[in-house]
Amino acid sequence: MTTATESHWVGLDIGTVRHGVAVADPAGRLALPLCVLAAQPASTLAVRLLAALAGRTARALVCGLPLDQYGNAGPAAQAVRHIATSLAGELKLELHFVDERYTTSAVQRPPEAGQHRQAGRRQQHPAAGNSRGKGRSGAPPDAQAAALILQAFLDTHAG
């Protein structure tokens, strides 16, 4: 159970249509997909994010930055910076960015260890997801991408 003094890192995968949201455990070791929020209306994004956090206190925002294959920030990265900076300012939270170049492919890649054979038929492990817009963890791909972004941050900022 979360106490009033615990705070959570919040991961965001900002998109043009929807934003994936993830949260870290209070210890800051494990990122978990939370939900997906519609990108519009942008004017209510902060309120909707707070509602999605369901009483969790946010420590800081960690947003994926869509750099190109050479690591350069183009128009998409500028748009993400604008949205993230506005959101962090409105929520009065610290803001961090993480290179998100490979999160989409990681979420869409079929699980290697998540499948096994049973009774002569290939079956998918329950955690591997299904074909209805949910990925390996059963969470929507945008929320999974947010969790990968947040986990990358947590792994490099342990402690």
What is residue 138's predicted lDDT score, i.e. its pLDDT?
Answer: 77
What are the chain's domains? 7-110+127-156 (3.30.420.140)
**Token reading at 86:** 């506005």
Q: 85, 144, 143: which is closest to 111 by C-alpha?
A: 144
Please list the pLDDT of the chain residue by residue as tens digits (159 residues): 444 458 899 999 999 999 999 999 999 999 999 999 999 999 999 999 999 999 899 999 999 999 998 999 999 999 999 999 999 999 999 999 999 986 666 676 555 544 433 333 333 323 233 333 555 567 899 999 999 999 999 999 865
The answer to whether the CB of 77 falls within 8 A of the CB of 67 is yes
Query: What would the pLDDT profile of 119-148 be if each residue is shown by its tens digit?
Result: 333 333 232 333 335 555 678 999 999 999
Closest C-alpha among 64, 29, 34 to residue 49: 34
Q: Tell me, what's the pLDDT at 123? A: 32
pLDDT of residue 139: 85
Pure H helices in the chain: 45-52, 75-91, 103-108, 141-156
The β-bridge partners of 118 are: 121
Distance (Å, rounded) from C-alpha 142 to C-alpha 16?
12
Residue 122's pLDDT is 31
Tokens of 56: 């969790």
